[in-house]
């Protein structure tokens, strides 16, 4: 039996930008709704949106246009994007910026003319990145948290989602099995609508940038429940992750604005190596190009002894760097670097999954009762996300998910849940407790090594097959983890649950990477180094059907822009 039960109208999993905006918009659409927001960490103090440094892309200047932002987004995604979702992103972003300033209370930097200041970001043809210094995410999350607190939204902190629970007929999602990490107690939550907004989870890589609690939970929950996922091979590596030895700061992002402002990358031989890879845009090339260039320099033996390259902004002037990037200056100082006066060692770092659950423009997926927003959703960014489009994605589609949830609550009755499925999920989650078995921390380390070496920035069939064999073994071992102690605040037990999700998401990523026999955006195959629009202008789909795992492709719908001419389709 469950320790507790809970009933609500809207249950939101995740407290980043998508989850917070979903809660705000659901409430403001219908204040009578009972809304519960569940956070694996602390609401307002965890998640990836809070870590956003660079900013938020939105068309605000009269000389800019949503058509131009759309074109940049599709070009950046190398035409793998769902173009209707990308159009929703670029047209919704200005409205959300207006809402964040005038309703939520965010303060964004302004120029001498009083307009919101917008800075340059790589891969964009106009300076359209709105920011609050270099700590934009903290500003957005803090203000959204205040708004929800004032509205009396129910928060469940340090609570993880264990499983999406269907109705007895299996025709919809009817609730979620939750686990309070502090008490070790389970709650079966029933809801008319569940919003999945847990964030991504490239923590399966040796160097990665997300918050520590982001372990692919949303992808794993959705996949086990039968959701269709797309483009899981598309893992973005940010070019400039801080190298700080064994510190947890290793892999944390040094924001893209540093390169946008004129930062330069050098190898250990003092060469400004981006001239070899993109002589026109240099360091302001798209993330996939810069990250791969850095990786290839390191692999060619031209990296630093620590296995990185050098990012230098000191030529911009110490005062300018301190004033423009105070958060980055402090972050570097914590591990002994002076960003204002010399180079900093950096490495590509796993940053953002462009793949995820397949959704429509209303955030609906193939599972009735489940909405998906933010990084848990796929299709918006195609093969490569532009810097500054991430927090725009989370807030634009988080708002849309909240509005859709409110509308569905007016139509859907509260369904009963499949108690047998909930009990089975609880039993599975409890297995590692109090038994001898595999060490989950050792499994995590082995997983991160194989993913970095075989499913990283440069891939090939031989390496991917080795990875899949290793991941199959790790999946079996993850089912045999054992941890000491009881259920209350047992970090080893939580790590065991994390590893099961990470291994599953890693397997999906590697399988999709083997399936796509071309190079496109963030997915680079040494054995298929060219982009092949004739065969691979498709989205790779994956779905669990019973005990079978199905993988297939479907053509990209070129509804607005075609690659052969880049002329808008009307």
* Two structure tokens written together for 374: 């933010």
Per-residue pLDDT of 513-532, as tens digits, reads 999 999 999 999 999 999 99
Q: In the prediction, which pLDDT does 569 show?
A: 41
Residue of 69, 203, 238, 507 with catalytic role: 238
Helix, strand, coil abundance in the chain, percent, nearest 5: 40, 20, 40
Q: In the prediction, which pLDDT does 117 show?
A: 94
Residue of 75, 259, 385, 459 with catalytic role: 259
Alpha-carbon distance 340 to 523, whole Å?
34
Q: In the prediction, which pLDDT does 1 show?
A: 62
Q: In the prediction, which pLDDT does 254 show?
A: 87
Q: In the prediction, which pLDDT does 286 show?
A: 81
DSSP codes, 130-198: E-STT-HHHHHHHHHHHHHHHHT-EEETTEEEEEEEE-TTSSSEEEEEEEETTTTEEEEEEEEEEEE--
Residue spans per domain, the chain: 4-234+352-409, 238-349, 419-530+538-547
* Two structure tokens written together for 357: 């659950």
238 neighbors 287 (Cβ within 8 angstroms): yes
List b or e across 434-446, with b for residues whose CB sees 16 or more CB atoms inside 10 angstroms.
eeeebbbeebbeb
556 SS3 class: coil
Per DSSP, helices labelled H in 49-135 are 66-76, 83-99
Beta strands in 340-491 (DSSP E): 344-353, 356-358, 370-372, 377-378
- Count CB neighbours of 375 within 10 A: 33
Domain covering 238-349 in this structure, CATH number: 3.90.700.10
196 neighbors 371 (Cβ within 8 angstroms): yes
Alpha-carbon distance 561 to 564, whole Å?
9
277 neighbors 293 (Cβ within 8 angstroms): yes
Residues of the chain with pLDDT under 50: 567-570
308 neighbors 346 (Cβ within 8 angstroms): yes
Q: Is the pTM of this model over 0.85?
A: yes
Active site residue 238: yes
**Residue listed under structure tokens 């609508």:** 193
Q: How far is CA 566 from the centre of its chain?
A: 28
Q: In the prediction, which pLDDT does 209 show?
A: 79
Cα separations in angstroms, 516 against 56, 131, 223, 237, 470:
31, 36, 20, 18, 20
Alpha-carbon distance 31 to 28, whole Å?
6
Alpha-carbon distance 483 to 494, whole Å?
10
- For 515, phi and psi rounded to 5 degrees? -65, -40
Instruction: Provide CB contacts within 8 A for 70, sequence distance 6+.
Output: 86, 87, 90, 560, 561
Per-residue pLDDT of 294-347, as tens digits, reads 998 998 999 999 889 999 999 999 999 999 898 899 989 988 899 999 999 999
Domain covering 419-530+538-547 in this structure, CATH number: 1.20.58.100
* Two structure tokens written together for 546: 């019973």
Name the fold adopted by 4-234+352-409: FAD/NAD(P)-binding domain (3.50.50)
Q: In the prediction, which pLDDT does 287 show?
A: 81
Active site residue 541: no
Alpha-carbon distance 51 to 55, whole Å?
11
Instruction: Provide CB contacts within 8 A for 306, sequence distance 6+.
Output: 243, 245, 345
């Amino acid at each position: 039996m469950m320790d507790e039960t809970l009933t609500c109208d809207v249950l939101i999993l995740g407290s980043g930008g998508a989850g917070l905006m979903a809660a705000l918009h659901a409430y403001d659409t219908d204040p009578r709704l009972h809304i519960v927001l569940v956070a694996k960490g602390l609401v307002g103090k965890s998640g990836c949106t809070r870590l956003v440094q660079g900013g938020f892309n939105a068309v605000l200047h009269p000389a800019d246009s949503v058509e131009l932002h759309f074109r940049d987004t599709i070009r950046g995604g190398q035409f793998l994007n769902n173009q209707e979702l990308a159009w929703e992103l670029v047209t919704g972003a200005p409205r959300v910026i207006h809402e964040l300033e005038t309703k939520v209370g965010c303060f964004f930097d302004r120029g001498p003319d009083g307009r919101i200041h917008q800075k340059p970001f790589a891969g964009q043809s106009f300076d359209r990145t709105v920011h609050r210094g270099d700590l934009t995410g903290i500003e957005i999350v803090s203000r959204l948290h205040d708004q929800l607190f004032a509205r009396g939204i129910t928060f469940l902190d340090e609570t993880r989602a264990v499983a999406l629970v269907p109705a007895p007929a299996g025709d919809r999602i009817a609730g979620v099995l939750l686990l309070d990490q502090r008490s070790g107690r389970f709650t079966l939550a029933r809801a008319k609508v569940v919003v999945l907004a847990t964030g991504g989870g490239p923590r399966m890589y040796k160097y990665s940038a997300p918050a520590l609690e982001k372990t692919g939970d949303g992808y794993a929950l959705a996949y086990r429940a039968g959701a269709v996922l797309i483009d899981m091979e598309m893992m973005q590596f940010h070019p400039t992750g801080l190298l700080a030895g064994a510190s947890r700061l290793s892999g944390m992002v040094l924001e893209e604005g540093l390169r946008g402002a004129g930062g330069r990358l050098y190898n250990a031989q003092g060469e400004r190596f981006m001239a070899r890879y993109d002589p026109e845009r240099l360091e302001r090339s798209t993330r996939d190009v810069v990250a791969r260039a850095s990786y290839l320099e390191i692999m060619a033996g031209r990296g630093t002894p620590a296995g990185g390259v050098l990012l230098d902004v000191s030529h911009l002037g110490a005062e300018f760097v301190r004033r423009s990037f105070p958060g980055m200056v402090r972050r570097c100082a914590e591990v002994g670097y002076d960003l204002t006066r010399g180079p900093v060692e950096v490495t590509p770092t796993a940053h953002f999954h462009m793949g995820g659950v397949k959704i429509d423009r209303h955030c609906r997926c193939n599972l009735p009762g489940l909405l998906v927003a933010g990084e848990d959703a796929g299709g918006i960014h195609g093969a490569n996300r532009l810097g500054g489009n991430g927090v725009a994605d989370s807030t634009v589609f988080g708002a849309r998910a909240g509005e859709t949830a409110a509308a569905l609550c007016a139509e859907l009755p509260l369904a009963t849940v499949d108690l047998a499925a909930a009990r089975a999920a609880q039993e599975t989650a409890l297995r590692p407790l109090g038994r001898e078995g595999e060490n989950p921390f050792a499994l995590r380390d082995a997983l991160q090594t194989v993913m970095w070496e075989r499913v990283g920035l440069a891939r090939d069939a031989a390496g991917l097959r080795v990875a899949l064999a290793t991941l199959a073994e790790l999946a079996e071992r993850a089912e045999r983890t054992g941890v000491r102690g009881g259920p209350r605040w047992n970090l080893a037990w939580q790590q065991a649950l994390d590893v099961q999700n990470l291994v599953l998401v890693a397997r999906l990523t590697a399988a999709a990477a083997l399936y796509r026999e071309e190079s496109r955006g963030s997915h680079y195959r040494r054995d298929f180094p060219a982009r092949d629009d004739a065969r691979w202008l498709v989205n790779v789909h994956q779905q669990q059907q019973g005990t079978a795992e199905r993988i297939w492709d479907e053509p990209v719908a070129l509804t607005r822009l075609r690659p052969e001419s880049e002329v808008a389709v009307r």
